[in-house]
Amino acid sequence: MFSFVAQINKCLLFFVTTLFLSFSSAAQWYNPDKVNKKANALNEKAYLAAMDGNYAEALKWLDDAIKKDKNFVDAYLSQAGIYANLHNYSASVEKYEKAFALDAIYTHQYLLPYSISLAGIGKFDKALSAVEDFLKDPTLNEYSVQAGNYRKSTYTFAIERKASTHVQFNHLPNSINTSASEYYPSITIDGNTIVFTRRENRDEDFYISIRTDSGWNKAKMLSGKVNTQFNEGAQNISQDGEWLVFTGCNYPEGAGSCDIYLSYKTPKGTWSEPELLPFNTEHWESAPCLSPDKRDLYFSSSAPGGLGGKDIWVSRKGDDGRWSKPLNLGPKINTSGDESCPFIHADNTTLYFTSSGLSGYGNSDLFVTKKTTDGWLTPLNLGFPINTIDEEGSMVVSADGHTAYFASDRADSYGALDIYSFQLPEEVSATPTRWVRGQVIDKKTHEGLPSRVVLTDLNTRNVAFRLQTDEDGHFLITLPIGKEFAFNVARKNYLFFSENLTPKETNTDTTTQVNIYLQPIEPGASLVLRNIFFDIGMAELQPASQYELNLLIALMNENPNMQIRIEGHTDNTGTPTSNLTLSKERAQAVANYLIEKGIDKKRLQTVGFGQTKPVETNNTEEGKSRNRRTEIYILSN
């Protein structure tokens, strides 16, 4: 199946095949045939060790060879190549420069790998100079010219990108990272649960760790039916921690190649039998990611109809529970190269992904784009040192919009790939996001109610979040800061719930726990419409009011015998007489809107109470805002 480890290892091939090569020139002083025989024998031992992947042993033999012959240029070049394989680019550069200092003519052919190691430590100006010097050689073959020009383009991009180099990578503890490979992290909205893949002895399994006040607990294998004898990986846990999507390859019931499966968390905390999702094809599908409302599923696929090798697609879950035919994200994101590892942030707007077709530092880089009403914005490369000359894999970003997690085989890893966290620079961060977790409850019976939850951006009047609660009425919704939302909960035969939510950056607590009590539709039931807006002292409805008024219209159309009284209320600003008049006019403005949309005026009554029925104190701005309200009261049904 798709393996991030395999992706990482591909980039080592160039260095392995260039180890221990020798080039000759009539003008050079260094002659490999005249190297000390004992030093040469040690070099041969180093070669065999390196070919077996025993790099530490190879470096030791080369150190011994250099002790026998301090001018052993090939030994320095071999060390440089091995250090590059180990991603210790600083040591690689040092060894290359020692070799160059001994014989610049003999080592000229090594300017290309030297430039790559320079780029590995962010010295792109120097790398560009080195590769330009390399390309001046008229004897280069076509492959070498192509390789040199490719690297030249990446260094030029890096210089023009001018990304921040001030990124601190934090190695997650050994309760998560081990001598095996850990990769493909995914986290829940509260940042306290991480699920990742661990690869041991060619077997990939899913593990989970919970963060407590004392740190991350020792990771345990996910229980249930998701870890099997078959090949699975590339998992993503939903923001609420209740669903797990992942890639399964060559499953007996699969559609072909690698497919995407969905598993549910059971009441016992285990994971259910995986469900093959219907949009899978006989081609490769992998790297799934759920949107925070679990209605969109992003993934990578090599299916026909795309723009390149692998493209990013999205399937939407409809109100009927069915997944739609996947939609290609289009040419702003997909290229003739490979795009994979999509991650949609909790803000449901910011998308991170990898691409080998967009301009970058080499191999696959990480990019970010944002969804707008007009489509996706042009992706931005995350920059160095998040992106490097090596292969970059999946990355996830926590609700704060800045804390990211990814896998890397950095010099301080415990073995192969380990998981790290770091802070994203502002220009590539997501919108900080709060969330509301709660339960919908019948106000009379106090039993949980499965209901529809909708979050609407009052500025654009676009639905930002829509979900169906579980059978007990539990839900979780995310709230990007800096926007004003209408928060509505609805169920047939009940009055809908209305609230206005405006998450702020200054909030210290990122989560709000609420219980929402829905009232059965019956005489005497009442509802405060929290998203009906007027200018100060005015009775003309603001456009942002239309969404909630349309909900009221839909409710009355569903209940054609329902008659209501529309009540207007104000705070105590102004005189009692003027407030009474204003409240009557506002109630009538609501009625007029309903009548214009087809509601029979005989079903409507209006009344204004002015400032006489406050629900909170008028001594605070927050209290006044609660007192300025529009209520409906059911007269008959």
User: DSSP string covering 119-151, please?
Assistant: HHTT-HHHHHHHHHHHHT-TT--HHHHHHHHHH
Phi, psi of 72 (to 5 degrees): -80, 85
Q: For 155-219, where are the E strands, in sequence order?
A: 170-171, 181-187, 193-200, 203-212, 215-216
Residue 28: predicted pLDDT: 61
At residue 508, does pLDDT exceed 60? no
At residue 16, does pLDDT exceed 80? no
Residues 6+ apart with CB under 8 A from 242: 264, 265, 470
Q: Average pLDDT for residues 213-234, to the nearest whole number?
A: 92
**Considering the entire predicted model, what is its pTM?**
0.85
| Each residue's pLDDT tens digit, 237-280 | 999 999 999 999 988 888 888 999 999 999 899 999 999 999 99
- 64 or 26, which is more confident? 64
| Each residue's pLDDT tens digit, 72-119 | 999 999 999 999 998 899 999 999 999 999 999 999 999 999 999 999
Element (H, E) at 7: helix 4-10
pLDDT-derived band of residue 482, with 50, 70 and 90 as boundaries? confident
Whole-number Å distance between alpha carbons of 564 and 455:
25
Residue 195: predicted pLDDT: 97
Residue 34: predicted pLDDT: 87
Residue 457: predicted pLDDT: 87
Neighbours of 79 (CB within 10 A): 25
Least confidently predicted of 167-176, 236-245, 481-490, 592-601? 481-490
Whole-number Å distance between alpha carbons of 563 and 549:
15
Residue 165: predicted pLDDT: 67
Q: Average pLDDT for residues 587-602, to the nearest whole number?
A: 97
Residue 55: predicted pLDDT: 93
| Each residue's pLDDT tens digit, 44-62 | 999 999 999 899 999 999 9
Whole-number Å distance between alpha carbons of 316 and 71:
65
At residue 499, does pLDDT exceed 50? yes
Q: Average pLDDT for residues 223-245, to the nearest whole number?
A: 92
Mean pLDDT highest for which of 285-299, 409-423, 487-501?
Answer: 285-299
Share of the chain above pLDDT 90, in %: 77
DSSP 188: -
Whole-number Å distance between alpha carbons of 186 and 342:
12
| 448, 403 contact by CB (below 8 A) | no
Whole-number Å distance between alpha carbons of 604 and 441:
28
- Peptide bond just before 385 cis, omega within 30 deg: yes
| Each residue's pLDDT tens digit, 67-78 | 999 999 999 999
Residues 6+ apart with CB under 8 A from 161: 381, 383, 384
Q: For 494-575, where are the alpha helices, taking DSSP H only?
A: 546-558
| Each residue's pLDDT tens digit, 132-179 | 999 999 999 999 999 999 999 999 999 999 876 689 999 999 999 999
Least confidently predicted of 21-35, 345-359, 404-418? 21-35
Q: Average pLDDT for residues 597-617, to the nearest whole number?
A: 96
Cα 214 to Cα 173, 217, 401, 469, 584, distances in angstroms: 12, 8, 23, 32, 58
Whole-number Å distance between alpha carbons of 483 and 481:
6
Neighbours of 615 (CB within 10 A): 11
Q: Average pLDDT for residues 611-626, to the nearest whole number?
A: 93
| 321, 452 contact by CB (below 8 A) | no
Whole-number Å distance between alpha carbons of 194 and 374:
34
Q: Average pLDDT for residues 464-468, to the nearest whole number?
A: 86
Residue 470: predicted pLDDT: 87
For residue 514, the SS3 value is strand
Whole-number Å distance between alpha carbons of 192 and 403:
13
Phi, psi of 186 (to 5 degrees): -145, 145
- DSSP bridge pairs for 509: none
Cβ density class 571-583: b for 16+ within 10 Å, e for less: bbebeeeebbbbb
Phi, psi of 69 (to 5 degrees): -145, 100
Which pair of structure tokens corresponds to residue 115? Answer: 């430039």
Q: Average pLDDT for residues 472-496, to the nearest whole number?
A: 90
At residue 6, does pLDDT exceed 50? no
Phi, psi of 327 (to 5 degrees): -115, 130
Cα 530 to Cα 488, 499, 569, distances in angstroms: 10, 5, 12
| 353, 382 contact by CB (below 8 A) | no
In the chain, what are the domains? 4-161 (1.25.40.10), 170-428 (2.120.10.30), 432-520 (2.60.40.10), 524-637 (3.30.1330.60)
Tokens 């160059």 map to which residue? 100
Element (H, E) at 582: helix 576-596
Q: Average pLDDT for residues 517-546, to the nearest whole number?
A: 93
R_g over Cα of the chain: 31
Residue 402: predicted pLDDT: 95
At residue 9, does pLDDT exceed 60? no
Whole-number Å distance between alpha carbons of 459 and 43:
70
Average pLDDT across the chain, whole number: 90
Give the N- to C-terminal CA distance of the chain in Å, as an integer: 59
pLDDT-derived band of residue 421, with 50, 70 and 90 as boundaries? very high
What's at 228, amino acid-wise? T
Phi, psi of 326 (to 5 degrees): -60, 145
Residues 6+ apart with CB under 8 A from 531: 458, 486, 498, 499, 500, 544, 545, 547, 548
At residue 225, does pLDDT exceed 70? yes
At residue 506, does pLDDT exceed 80? no
Residue 17: predicted pLDDT: 41
Residue 4: predicted pLDDT: 32
Whole-number Å distance between alpha carbons of 526 and 415:
63
DSSP 226: S
